[in-house]
Amino acid sequence: MLVGVEKTLLPTLNIMKSKRDTISLKEVERLAGFGFIDKEIAYILDVGVTTLNKYKHEPEFKSALERGKLVADKKVVKSLYNKAVGFKHDKRYYPPDTTAIIFWLKNRRPDLWRDKHEVEHTGEVKLTKEERAETVNRIKGYYTDQN
């Protein structure tokens, strides 16, 4: 303890308060709810990203951050959904957007809509020397024609 300083004076001298003690969890939740990323939240709270990451180890802080991010994510999901299916706003109709539909389907149903499909091949392809030479020549011809 500090010599010559009464315990009752410590809070008024602000000696025992850390930066973390001055940060409101409601403010953290609100900032995350606006869609700010961790780097931006750290900047607004006037702490480093490393410090913010340390704060995330505190259950209350982590929970406030997660609650806020969930609010922002719900808004985006609702907007994406509306854009994909079409919506009305101020008596005006906005038709479904193809890009939003594709994005939604590729992420919600990748088994049916993703661009890359995994195909497992078992066995072997047997070509005679002549078939192999013909295939190689066809491939070479394709690339020669493209240039």
Q: What is the pLDDT of residues 24-73, one digit of tens each?
A: 999 999 999 999 999 999 999 999 999 999 999 999 999 999 999 999 99
> Quick check: 68 and 32 in contact, CB under 8 A?
yes
Q: pLDDT band for position 20 (50/70/90)?
A: confident
> Where do we find the tokens 């406030």?
64
129 is a domain residue: no
In a domain, 134, yes or no: no
- pTM of the entire predicted model: 0.60
Q: Quote the CA–CA distance of 43 and 41 in Å, as a whole number.
A: 5
Gap between the Cα atoms of 97 and 84, Å rounded: 5
* 80 inside domain: yes
6 domain residue, yes or no: no
Do 55 and 25 touch, CB atoms closer than 8 A?
no
Q: What is the pLDDT of residue 1?
A: 45
Phi, psi of 88, rounded to the nearest 5 degrees: -110, 140
Express each pLDDT in 76-103 by its tens digit: 999 999 999 999 999 999 999 999 999 9
**DSSP-derived pairing of the beta strands 87-89 and 92-94:** antiparallel
Quote the domain boundaries for residue 23: 11-115
Whichever domain contains 15, its CATH number is 1.10.10
Q: What are the CA-CA distances from residue 124 to residues 65, 90, 127, 139 (Å)?
A: 54, 62, 10, 20
What percentage of the chain exceeds 90 in pLDDT?
59
Residue 132 lies in a domain: no
